[in-house]
Every structure is written in structure tokens, then in C-alpha cells.
Structure 1
Amino acid sequence: MKSEKKQVVGGALLSYILIVLNAVYGLLITPYILSRLGTVEYGMYKTVASLSSSLMILDLGLGGTVTRYIAKYKSDNREKDIPNLIAILFLEATIVLLLVTIVCTGVYSQLGNIYKATFTSDQLAHAKKLFLVLSINMLLCIIENVVNGIVTGYNDFLFGNGIKLVRLGCRILLVFIVLQFYPNSMGLVLINLTLTSVFLMIEIYWAFVKHKTRVRFEHWDASLFSESFKYTLLIFSTSIVNQVNGNLDNIVIGAVVSAAAVAVYSMGLTIFGMFQQLSTAISGVLLPSIIGILEEKDGLKKVQKTIVNTGRVQFCLLGAAFVGFAVLGKNFIYLWLGDGFQDVYYITLILMIPSIFELCVNACLAVLKAKNLLGFQTVALLSTTVLNAFITYFGTRKFGYFAACFGTAVSWTIGSLILMNLYYYKKFGFPMLKIYQSIIGKTWVALLVPAIVLSIVNRYCPVTWIAFAFECLLFVIIYLVILLKAGLTESELAQVRGRVLKRKEKL
């Protein structure tokens, strides 16, 4: 087993590679899928897939619960109690699987009533078949989340992210091959089901053979069950927020507007999803480490430093992505998708603006999970999610998909940005304004200059892929030069020099 530091750094590096591969999938494979299926069938597929994905909240966040308690037991030197812990959590998973099966059966029986206004009879019949396969895949994903939670709890981020990388590569290859000979959305869902089944078996082998994890029920721990189930419910409530923000829009648009409108909105969500992933490469591997830091003396002060350090990296990436898209996004959308998708640019920007600052400090969420203090977040985000659902449902009827993305943006601004930052200050004493000031630093200068230059250059460049590539390269060069000259702190520059020298020595 490699050291924890190597696992965290290696896991983060694999996360960034995964982001690049996801970008390849989103930018190259998504238009290919759209061209093979057509706008209407693709929109129908995304509608049903969003409905199925929204039911994934019923897994109650079991994977996160397993990760948190295994990491905590290791930190408390209670490794001998882990087999009993996993046995109790698998009992919870069995209950959840039965619950999901019942709910999926009920939703399947009501699909005709949900989409009778926007789907034809043939489309409804096809949608039911898609939903059936997606439901089976969802049940397997719940088991996979628990197994993956075991691997992550042991700080094995290299395998956890590595298997995701291989899986996505296989998906890209299979989508390209299958849709060549079978251009149907059923092919897509069967690919997902096949990959889930195969990689679930690999993860089970790794968790229980390589890590020698044991599931052994030794005694009933009522306090553990109560505490873990409470934590699971809080994770579940947070999942509701994520699923509503990620899938409710497509479900409502598909039921109220049309399947074609879902196709347009989904493209905005695809780009926004890539934007979000830039922030999770580091924060996604922090939970076990933060649990250990909080056990130390002055743990909160040390965690605050971690929040700033990770936030700096995340803002450098997110800020560049946001400014680059704001300046060059219109040309990119036209080149990528063609006519009829101009609204994707505005949908994406509306979603990006309120989320960029929240994503920069998402390491704070690891603190909440580590200290089992998710109650306020649950109440705050559920409240704003109700507001989002209200705006989306009633606004979409008059303003279409713009009402949906506006509702999501308002929800994030009030819940994640305002209320949660106030909570971090009141509960932990985190000076959030000072933290944001430290995170942004002088990076804004490195973002402003290339934005101005590119705005001028963009007026005189033709709308072609070659011109677009040139503008992107110009943006990156100007941004990196100014970032190194004026955007980074002295300590960050020293770290960069140290890494460069170390790399030279190895070469």
C-alpha cells in the first residue's frame, strides 16, 4: 500500500486526467451521439435518463457513509471493528435496494401519464424499455457505490480514480463502435449496464481480495446503526439537492416543452458538468486526510490553510475556464453543435456565475462530513431546492429552459454561497471573506488581461476550428505568463520551482 500522500496526489492527478477524458467524451462523443440518434430521440433518452438518475438519491449516500466511517475507524485505531461496521452498512444497503425496486416499479407504471403530453405512443413504449434497463443499472450502481466507498475509505485513490479512467475510456470506444452499427438509444443504456456489471466485479475483487476486507457480523451496534443512518440521511438530503439541480430541469422541460428542448438544455449541462469537475479533482480526495487533520491540535486552523491552498488551485482552473468560455464560448458552441444551439452559451454562463465561488471552497464540505455536521446544510439546501423547483416548474411554462437554469442559479446563490458561508463563519470561525480574498489574490489580474486581449482578437478572427485553437492557445500562454509573474504568491512560486527542479533531476 502506497503512502497516504502519494495516494492523495496520485488520485488528484488521475482526477485531472479523468476530467480531460470526460471533456473528450463531452466535446467529441456527445455531438456524435446526437448526430446518430437525432435531436428528438437524444432528447427523449436524456429525459428518461434524467428521471432514472434522479432516483439515485434513494441510495441514501451509502458510499459516502462507508468512506467516512472506515476513515474514522482507521483514525481512531479501531480497524478490528471495521468488519462489523461493513456488515451493518451492507444491511442498510439491502434495505435501500428493496426501497429502490419498489419506487422504480411505481415510476415505470406511471411513465405514460408523466410524458403523454410530449411523447408519442411509440416514444412512450421505447421510453419504458429504456427506463427498465436504466433501473437495473441503477440497482447495480448502488452496490458499486458501497464497494467504492470501502476502497476510498482505505485512501486507495489511485485504484478508485484509475478504474473510473479505464471505464470512461471503454465507454468512449464502445459508444463509437455500437452506434455505428446500432444507432439507437437502447444501445447506450446497454453499454452502461454492461460496463457497470464488469467493473463492479473488478471493484469487488479489489476491495475484498486485495484489501482483504472482511464482512463479519459480530454484534448489533445500535448506536453505530443510529449514528451512521442519521449521517446517511443527511447525505441523502444533500443528494436530493444535487439530483434536483442536475435532473429536475430536464424532467420538467421534457414534460412541459419538448424532447428537442431537452437536447439543447442538456448540452449546457454537459459543459457545466465539465466546469464542476475541475473543482472535484482535489476536494474529492480530501475527506480521509481532513478527518486525520481534525484529530490534531489546532485542527481547524490547519484545515483552514488546506481550504485556502486547495481553493487557490481550484480558482486558477475555474477562473480560467469561466473567462475563456465567456470570451470564446459563442464561437465554440457554433463550431461544436452548429445552428439551433445558440442558447447553450447563455444557459452555461447562468449556471457558472453563482457556482464558481462555491466550488472554490468545497473543501469545507469535507469538514462538515468529517465532523458529522451536515444538518444545517441539509436544511439550507433543501429550502432553496424547493425554491428552485417552484421557479422551474412554473417558469418553464412561460420562459422555457431559461427559467430552469435561472432557478438553479438562484438556489445555489442563496443556499450554497450565502447561507453556507455564514454557517462556516459561525460554526468554525472561518473568516470566509478573508479566505476568498486569499484564494483570489492577484489571480484576477492574470484573468483580466487575456480576457481583454482575446475580446479584441476575437473580433477579427474567422469562426473556424483553426482560429479557435489559435485563440485558445493565445489565452493559455498569456494567462500562464501573467499568473507566474504576478498571480502566484512567493511560496507558490517556490513550490513550482521545486517541482520543476525535482522533475529535471528525475529526467
Structure 2
Amino acid sequence: MKVNELKIGVILSYFQLILGNIISIIYTPIMLRLLGQNEYGLYNLSSSTISYLGLLSFGFGSAYIRYYSKYKAKKDEESIRILNGTFLIIYSVIALITLLAGIILIKNIDVIFKNGLTQNEIYKSRILMLFMVFNLAISFPMSVFLSNITANEKFLFQKLVSSLNTVINPFVMLPILIMGYKSIGMVIATTVIGIINSGLNIWYCFNKIGIKFKFRKIDFSLIKEISIFSSYIFLNMIVDQINWNVDRFLLGTYKGTSAVAIYGIGSQFNTYYMNFSTAISNVFIPKINRIVSESDNSVELTEIFTRVGRIQFIILSFILSGFIIFGKYFIENIFAGSEYKMSYPVALLLMCPVTVPLIQNLGIEIQKAKNMHKFRSVLYFLIAIGNLFMSIPLCKYHGVIGCAIGTSITMILGNCILMNWYYHKKIGLDMLYFWKNIVNFIPGLIIPIISGVIMIFIGINTIGRFLIMGIVYIVIFLISIYKISMNKYERQLFIEPLLRTKAKFIA
């Protein structure tokens, strides 16, 4: 049953990713036009500011699953009950701290954003942040139940709820926006949906899994052990917050809500881009852990690392090249509007350097399996601090482009240069072999690049041209890569689903 749930969970994960992106691409333009640029920027700024309070979770979620699985394997029900009780107490305390910290933050919003926001925007941001702080505080104790569902591998229920949320969310939000309630209406609706989700998770844990708690005997040595385990995960959380949210915070401080909105749209395309890579590499995590535990064969690890990296490069080079050619027209004329024209260079500045770590993200799992991920955590933390100090003057003098440049430079230094050195010298992966295999793709990209330049020269200035040229580019890219760059394994991966589909139609 667990094997079937695992397979269904994987299928639903891909389904949710594709469905979520499609719905977001359809819903976001409507939402942007109903909200307006300043209102969207204010909502984005409030959300990114409150997200810093999410650091108070200290990465304990991963620790819960690890220790739950450990006790479950030993059939130690007593320790599981104590674990559940310990985490519920810890997260309840964190929730109270979050509320207190949130209230202090909200009271000082006028001091933080006095140069970037108007008095009316400061007033509205306080209301938005109040609801967001409440949502975040509630989510901490509720995460015990969500983690329990994950630890018990009840992926079917979990992914079904997530998929339903993905579908229902725009149908709830759009009527609220049409009625004119704008960002405050959205955050109230989000609160209600969050409470319903929490209720469903609690019901499932008690009625289907049979979760039990024990509060009388708190294991303080366990809390210490969990804290040590979570410390590097916490460090990674800080890095992510700095890299992906600090720019919006700085723009809100120095440039105002419209700059936050422009950057937010560019960042959103970068998020779409990153999601496609992660979905592929996650499938290989169990295999990586098995190889490391059984033989720690560097040659075998390099082969898998390179094979997955090549597949990711095919997908990402297709998305990135297509975005370079068609992204400007899509953002300005279909997705967001002409007032968001600077979102296009922001997206490119974020997407181009992040391509290298995305085609190498299986390396993160290899580091974890070898217990050699501390270097990455510390390095990324130092790079993120560098990003913060670099972005402040760049934001002041160059606005959204300056912030994106700061993030881009630190990405190139940390992800593209230093991590490749670490993979080669310390992890034992043959990075010369890896990059030789990636460079082999370049001949297959020449024809699509030339065709893209011709399309830009002709001009993509109507929806009709956008659609026709888009289809032509897809066909040219796929044929060129298939004929020139793909190896036998990759061609098989590409052609097998098509052959199966053809066989079903013929049958």
C-alpha cells in the first residue's frame, strides 16, 4: 500500500507542479489588473517581510520526520508520543514568540518603510501583516500534524489537499478582487483557507493515523539533539530568505511598492524556472543515498550526477532560451502589462546564473548523503551576507536592476565557481567530465539560437506572431537537440512516451 501511495504521490507532485504553474500563469495577470501595481507591490512586500519570521521554525520540520522514522522503525510508540508532545510544545512556544515579534514589527513599520511607503500604504500594510503574522503563528503548531502525515507517507491525502488548494484558490480570490476588497480581502481569504486545511490535517491525523501525544515527560536531551541536527538547515533557511526576499525588502525601503511589484513578477518567473529542475532531481534522492551507503562509488555518482544534469540542461535551456526570445512580449502584452517591462531583465538576471546550480542540484543530495553539506551551508551564508551588503547601494542607485545584479553576482561567485571547486576537490565528483558533457550540447543549440535571433529581428508584436513563432521555435529546438546533442539514453527517454501514446491510439 505504501509503495502505491508513494507512486501516486510522485505522480500527483508532478501534476500539482504543472497544474499550479498553468493556473498561476492564467490567474496572475487577472489578479495584477484587479489589484493594480502599487497594491500588488504592497501585498508582495508585506508577505516577504513577514516571511522572515518563518525563520523562527529553525528547520525543526526535517528533524521531526527524521526522528519519527527512527522511532517508527524500532516500533517505539512511547518515544513517538513524547516526540509528538515535545514538538507541539516547541511549536506552540514559537507561535507565541512569532505573535510577539510580529506585533513589534507591525508597530515599527512606519520607521522601517518611511522613505518607501505613503501613510495610506503603511496603514494598509499593518492590516495585511497582522493577518499574515496570525497565519504564520497558527501554522507552527499545525505543522506537527502535517509532518506526521508526511512521516507516515500518506502522500495521497497530502497531495490531494494541496492540489485542491491550487485549484480552489483562484476561484475564491477572484470574486473577492472583483468585489473590490483587494489585498486585505485576499489575506482574509488566505486565513480562512489555512484554518480549513489545518482542520483537515488534524482530523486525518486523529481519525486515520491515530496520532497520540505525551506531555508529561519532555526529553530535553532530544531537544538538544534536534537543535544540533537542525542548525545547518536553519542556516540554509537564512540564506534563502536573504537571497530571495531581501531585494523586495530593500526596494520597499528605498523605492516604494511599484518597484517591489516589478521585482516580484521577475522573481515569480525565476520560481517557475527553479521548480521544473527540482521536480526531476527529487526522484533520484533514494538512489543517491543507497549508492553512498553501499559503496560510495565516485565514478557511479559522477555518472548519475552528469546524466541527471544533462536532462535538466535540456529542459532548462529550452525554457531559458524561449524566455529570452518571447519573454519580453509575454510579460508586457499578455501576462502583466507594459508597466512591468523591467520585470523582463530582472527575470533574466535571476534565471541565467541560477541555471548552473539547477543542473547540479542533485549534488546537494550527494553532499547530504555523504554528510558533507556543512561547507555549502556556511559558504552560502557568507555569500548571502555579501549579497545583502552589495544590494543596498545597488538598490539605492539602480533600483530593481541593481538588486537583481547583486543577487546575480553572488550566485555566480558561490554557485557557479566555489561550489564546482568543492564538488571536484572534496566531494569526489569529476566536474571536468560533467562540464565536457554539458558543453557537448552547444552544437544543438546553434540552430535554435539563430532562429530566435531571426524571430526577434522580424519582430514579435502580435499575439498571432507570438503563438506561431513559439510553435516554430519549439519544433526547431526539439529537432535540433534530438538530432545533434542527445545521446542514445536521452533519445530513448524522449521517444518512449510518444511511442506508448501512439500505441494506445492505434490499439
TM-score normalized by the length of structure 1: 0.89
- For residue 459 of structure 1, what is the aligned residue in structure 2? 457
Distance verdict in 2 for CA 1:113–1:276, change over 3 Å: same
Query: Is residue 235–residue 374 contact of structure 1 (8 Å, CA) maintained in 2?
Result: no
Whole-angstrom distance in 1 between the partners of 2:493 and 2:66:
31
Whole-angstrom distance in 1 between the partners of 2:426 and 2:153:
28
Query: Is residue 392–residue 403 contact of structure 1 (8 Å, CA) maintained in 2?
Result: yes
Q: CA deviation at 1:71?
A: 5.0
Choose which of 49, 57, 74 in structure 2 pairs with 1:78: 74
Q: CA deviation at 1:437?
A: 3.6
Q: Which range moves more in the overlay, 428-437 or 405-414?
A: 428-437
- For residue 106 of structure 1, what is the aligned residue in structure 2? 104
Secondary structure in structure 2 of the residue aligned to 1:119: coil
- For residue 494 of structure 1, what is the aligned residue in structure 2? 492
Q: CA deviation at 1:234?
A: 1.4
Whole-angstrom distance in 1 between the partners of 2:361 and 2:321:
20
Distance verdict in 2 for CA 1:109–1:419, change over 3 Å: same
Query: Is residue 66–residue 149 contact of structure 1 (8 Å, CA) maintained in 2?
Result: yes
Report percent identity of matched pairs.
27
Whole-angstrom distance in 1 between the partners of 2:306 and 2:209:
33
- For residue 414 of structure 2, what is the aligned residue in structure 1? 415
Distance verdict in 2 for CA 1:494–1:318, change over 3 Å: closer
Q: CA deviation at 1:297?
A: 3.3
Q: CA deviation at 1:289?
A: 5.6
Q: Deviation digits for residues 461-502 of structure 1, max 9, x if unmatched?
A: 551222112222122222222333333321233345555555
Query: Is residue 40–residue 260 contact of structure 1 (8 Å, CA) maintained in 2?
Result: yes
The 5-angstrom pairing of residues 240-389 of structure 1 reads 240-284=238-282, 287=285, 290-298=288-296, 303-336=301-334, 337-389=336-388
Distance verdict in 2 for CA 1:69–1:279, change over 3 Å: farther
Whole-angstrom distance in 2 between the partners of 1:96 and 1:427:
37
Choose which of 25, 28, 31 in structure 1 pairs with 2:29: 31
Q: CA deviation at 1:386?
A: 1.0
Whole-angstrom distance in 2 between the partners of 1:420 and 1:215:
43
Query: Is residue 19–residue 274 contact of structure 1 (8 Å, CA) maintained in 2?
Result: no
Choose which of 150, 168, 171 in structure 1 pairs with 2:169: 171
Distance verdict in 2 for CA 1:478–1:373, change over 3 Å: same
Query: Is residue 72–residue 291 contact of structure 1 (8 Å, CA) maintained in 2?
Result: no
Gaps of 5+ in 1: none
Whole-angstrom distance in 2 between the partners of 1:259 and 1:54:
18
Q: CA deviation at 1:106?
A: 1.7
Gaps of 5+ in 2: none
- For residue 128 of structure 1, what is the aligned residue in structure 2? 126
Q: CA deviation at 1:290?
A: 4.3
Q: Which range moves more in the overlay, 396-405 or 137-146?
A: 137-146
Query: Is residue 443–residue 488 contact of structure 1 (8 Å, CA) maintained in 2?
Result: yes
Query: Is residue 179–residue 187 contact of structure 1 (8 Å, CA) maintained in 2?
Result: yes
- For residue 119 of structure 1, what is the aligned residue in structure 2? 117
> Which AA in structure 1 matches 2:3?
S
Whole-angstrom distance in 1 between the partners of 2:434 and 2:70:
27
Whole-angstrom distance in 2 between the partners of 1:464 and 1:54:
42
Whole-angstrom distance in 2 between the partners of 1:245 and 1:193:
27
Say yes or no: does 1:406 pair with 2:405: yes
Q: CA deviation at 1:268?
A: 0.6
Secondary structure in structure 2 of the residue aligned to 1:295: helix
- For residue 3 of structure 1, what is the aligned residue in structure 2? 3
Choose which of 425, 446, 449 in structure 1 pairs with 2:447: 449
Q: CA deviation at 1:388?
A: 0.8
Distance verdict in 2 for CA 1:98–1:277, change over 3 Å: same
Whole-angstrom distance in 2 between the partners of 1:218 and 1:209:
23
Distance verdict in 2 for CA 1:210–1:99, change over 3 Å: same
Query: Is residue 254–residue 396 contact of structure 2 (8 Å, CA) maintained in 1?
Result: yes
Distance verdict in 2 for CA 1:362–1:24, change over 3 Å: same
Whole-angstrom distance in 2 between the partners of 1:246 and 1:391:
14
Query: Is residue 57–residue 239 contact of structure 1 (8 Å, CA) maintained in 2?
Result: yes
Q: Which range moves more in the overlay, 456-465 or 285-294?
A: 285-294
Secondary structure in structure 2 of the residue aligned to 1:400: helix
Secondary structure in structure 1 of the residue aligned to 2:339: coil
Q: CA deviation at 1:127?
A: 1.1
Whole-angstrom distance in 1 between the partners of 2:293 and 2:219:
24
Q: CA deviation at 1:380?
A: 0.7
Secondary structure in structure 1 of the residue aligned to 2:200: helix
Query: Is residue 353–residue 411 contact of structure 2 (8 Å, CA) maintained in 1?
Result: yes
Q: CA deviation at 1:130?
A: 0.6
TM-score normalized by the length of structure 2: 0.89
> Which AA in structure 2 matches 1:365?
I
Secondary structure in structure 2 of the residue aligned to 1:463: coil
Q: Which range moves more in the overlay, 33-42 or 83-92?
A: 83-92
Whole-angstrom distance in 2 between the partners of 1:87 and 1:371:
31
- For residue 394 of structure 1, what is the aligned residue in structure 2? 393
Distance verdict in 2 for CA 1:205–1:296, change over 3 Å: farther
Query: Is residue 482–residue 491 contact of structure 2 (8 Å, CA) maintained in 1?
Result: yes
Whole-angstrom distance in 2 between the partners of 1:317 and 1:327:
16
> Which AA in structure 1 matches 2:456?
N
> Which AA in structure 2 matches 1:395?
L
Q: Deviation digits for residues 247-298 of structure 1, max 9, x if unmatched?
A: 1111110110121111111111111111111112133455556445543333
> Which AA in structure 1 matches 2:359?
C
Q: Deviation digits for residues 139-176 of structure 1, max 9, x if unmatched?
A: 23334544433333444545444432221111121122
Whole-angstrom distance in 2 between the partners of 1:130 and 1:12:
35
Distance verdict in 2 for CA 1:16–1:371, change over 3 Å: same
Distance verdict in 2 for CA 1:339–1:273, change over 3 Å: same
- For residue 54 of structure 1, what is the aligned residue in structure 2? 52
Query: Is residue 60–residue 227 contact of structure 2 (8 Å, CA) maintained in 1?
Result: no
Q: CA deviation at 1:405?
A: 0.8
Distance verdict in 2 for CA 1:495–1:49, change over 3 Å: closer
Say yes or no: does 1:139 pair with 2:134: no
Q: CA deviation at 1:346?
A: 0.9
Q: CA deviation at 1:362?
A: 1.3
What's the RMSD between the two structures over aligned residues? 2.8
- For residue 466 of structure 2, what is the aligned residue in structure 1? 468
Query: Is residue 301–residue 429 contact of structure 2 (8 Å, CA) maintained in 1?
Result: no
